[in-house]
């Protein structure tokens, strides 16, 4: 893993103007923040900077305003939640003046960065103007570090750049899980489609000892092995790719041997467990079966590190949550007993962890969706690279 500098490496923080990129892209419904976890997790960085007497300016994006001001996507609601002032100052004289007025330990939030076209364009001119009143840049937004945007990439070349505490925590956890993990290492990849996670599967095959393929993407692998998948969600055009993955993998691959099927995706549908060899129309495969779950659990018993992305079934609609919940609870128990290091990420994966009531029992849950996936693909993340060069 490449080296980056962190907050304790900053020689002097007192009276310094610090620009901090955070990810406060939180879900908002009817004018209320429905999940504050992304904001809450930047608090340690904020406290550190305040306690060291820095003048702090936070920047973030919210939603996709596409380079135009949109009152619906104002960060006002976030400023209120944080109890700090929201400044409308734009890069240039306005921002210079606003920053000059800050006192040590004071915090200010700037308006949604994506109101300006230069943000997503990674505009170096905007980066220069933005950087001008600051002494230091801190990136605490791992969740957007897969985007080469101005506040993530270009700006890091304009100022001495450091990783914030959350960024550091994310990078260390991911490194512990894949770069230098304790073996045996297992990855559980599930979810809706093979196509969105092809690269992930190909990269993981080279790194893990056991790869568990679940969710609808397992259907494509079952089809590739010659099974009938009935009316299941499947990507038949990826059969050959699936076959190649199966043939070339240097790891053990676990694919369901039995499944839970129903003839419609609904809570009232009659669900049946059956071996994969008996699936036929009008069956839809909606979850891993009990035999498969037991096989994964047995493997988990001898595993030291597990990376999780994607549910094993349609966990939003019981009883098709049984496989996902059982596996997540087993991982939680083994993690809590000190037998397993568990790292999870992905939007629906986090929802599944909450559904199984084990969000606080994993070793680490990444705040990132897209960045976590790109990292699993083995990609270099522009925001992280910029901190190291």
Q: How far is CA 61 from CA 38, 96, 243, in A?
A: 12, 20, 41
How many C-beta neighbours within 10 Å does residue 148 have?
Answer: 16
In the complex with Mg ion, which residue's Cβ is closer, 34 or 268? Answer: 34
**Shortest distance (Å) from residue 347 CB to Mg ion:** 4
Catalytic residue among 14, 347, 354, 380: 347
Output the CA–CA distances (angstroms, integers) from residue 212 to 124, 223, 363, in the order listed.
Answer: 43, 16, 19
Work out which of 45, 349, 366, 367 binds ligand ADP, going by CB under 6 A.
Answer: 349
Alpha-carbon distance 141 to 145, whole Å?
Answer: 6
Written as six digits, the tokens of 157 are 């070349």
Q: Which span (121-129, 143-151, 164-172, 305-313) binds ligand ADP, by CB under 6 A?
A: 305-313
Which residue is catalytic, options 193, 274, 304, 329? 193
By CB under 6 A, is residue 323 in contact with ligand ADP?
Answer: no
Q: Which is nearer to Mg ion, 16 or 146 (CB)?
A: 146
Which CB sits closer to Mg ion, 348 or 361? 348
310 binds, among Mg ion, ligand ADP, none (CB under 5 to 8 A by kind): ligand ADP
> 3-class SS at 288?
strand
Position 309 contacts ligand ADP (CB under 6 A): yes
Q: Does 348 bind Mg ion (CB under 5 A)?
A: yes
Query: Cβ of 239: how many Cβ atoms within 10 Å?
Result: 17
Q: Between residues 82 and 314, which has the closer beta carbon with respect to ligand ADP?
A: 314
- 310 contributes a contact to ligand ADP by CB under 6 A: yes
Q: Which of 150, 208, 261, 286 binds ligand ADP (CB under 6 A)?
A: 286
Write down the H helix ranges in 52-144. 76-82, 93-100, 117-120, 124-131
Binder to ligand ADP among 118, 133, 191, 383 (CB under 6 A)? 191
How open is the CA angle 244-1-343, to the nearest 5 degrees?
65
- Out of 53, 105, 369, 370, the active site residue is 370
Does the annotation count 31 as an active-site position?
no
Query: Restricting to residues 219-238, which ones interact with ligand ADP according to CB under 6 A?
Result: 233
Could you give the C-alpha distances from 272 to 18, 148, 219, 258, 318, in angstroms and in order?
58, 47, 17, 10, 13
Structure tokens belonging to residue 192: 């809706």
347: contact with Mg ion by CB under 5 A? yes
Residue 369 gets which letter from DSSP? Answer: S
- State the catalytic residue, choosing from 16, 21, 38, 197: 38
Of 237-245, 268-276, 346-354, 357-365, the segment contacting Mg ion by CB under 5 A is 346-354
Comparing CB distances to ligand ADP, the nearer of 344 and 387 is 344
- Dist CA 380 CA 85 (whole Å): 35
297 binds, among Mg ion, ligand ADP, none (CB under 5 to 8 A by kind): none
CB 286 within 8 A of CB 321: no
Contacts of 104 by beta carbon, 8 Å cutoff, 6+ apart? 14, 15, 53, 54, 55
Residue 278 touches which of ligand ADP, Mg ion, none (Cβ within 5-8 Å per kind): none
Report the half-sphere exposure of 47 (CA within 13 A, side-chain side).
8
Q: Which of 224, 216, 384, 376 is nearest to 308 (CA)?
A: 376
The reply to whether 347 belongs to the active site is yes
Binding mask 120-149 for Mg ion (x = CB under 5 A): ------------------------------
Active site residue 370: yes
Q: What residues act catalytically?
A: 38, 193, 347, 370
Kindly list the residues in this chain that would bind Mg ion in the complex (CB under 5 A): 347-348
């Amino acid at each position: 893993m490449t080296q980056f500098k962190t907050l304790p490496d900053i020689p002097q923080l007192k009276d310094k103007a610090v620009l901090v990129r955070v990810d406060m892209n939180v879900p908002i419904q009817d004018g209320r923040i429905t999940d504050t976890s992304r904001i809450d997790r930047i608090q340690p960085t904020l406290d550190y900077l305040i306690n060291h007497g820095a003048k702090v300016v936070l920047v973030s994006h919210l939603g996709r305003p596409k380079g135009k001001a949109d009152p619906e996507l104002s960060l006002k609601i976030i400023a209120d939640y944080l109890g700090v002032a929201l400044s409308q100052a734009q890069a240039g004289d306005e921002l210079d003046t606003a920053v000059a007025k800050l006192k040590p330990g004071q915090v200010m939030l700037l308006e949604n960065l994506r109101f300006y076209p230069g943000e997503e364009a990674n505009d170096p001119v905007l980066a220069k103007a933005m950087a001008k009143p600051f002494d230091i840049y801190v990136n605490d937004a791992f969740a957007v570090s897969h985007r080469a945007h101005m506040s993530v990439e270009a700006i890091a070349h304009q100022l001495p750049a450091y990783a914030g505490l959350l960024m550091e925590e994310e990078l260390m956890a991911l490194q512990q899980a894949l770069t230098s993990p304790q073996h045996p290492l297992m990855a559980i990849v599930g979810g809706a489609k093979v196509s969105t996670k092809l690269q992930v599967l190909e990269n993981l095959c080279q790194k893990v000892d056991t790869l568990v393929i679940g969710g609808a993407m397992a259907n494509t692998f079952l089809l590739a092995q010659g099974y009938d998948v009935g009316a299941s969600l499947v990507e038949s055009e990826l059969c050959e790719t699936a076959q190649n993955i199966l043939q070339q993998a240097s790891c053990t691959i676990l694919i369901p041997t039995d499944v839970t099927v129903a003839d419609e995706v609904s809570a009232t549908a009659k669900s049946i467990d059956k071996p994969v060899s008996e699936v036929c129309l009008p069956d839809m495969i909606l979850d891993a079966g009990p035999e498969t779950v037991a096989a994964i659990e047995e493997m988990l018993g001898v595993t030291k590190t597990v990376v999780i992305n994607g549910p094993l079934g349609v966990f939003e609609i019981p009883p098709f949550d049984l496989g996902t919940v059982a596996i997540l609870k087993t991982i939680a128990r083994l993690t809590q007993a000190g037998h397993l290091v568990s790292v999870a990420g992905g939007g629906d994966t986090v929802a599944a962890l909450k559904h199984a009531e084990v969000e606080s029992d994993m070793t680490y849950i990444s705040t990132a969706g897209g960045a976590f996936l790109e990292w699993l693909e083995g990609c270099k993340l522009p925001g992280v690279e910029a901190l190291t060069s």
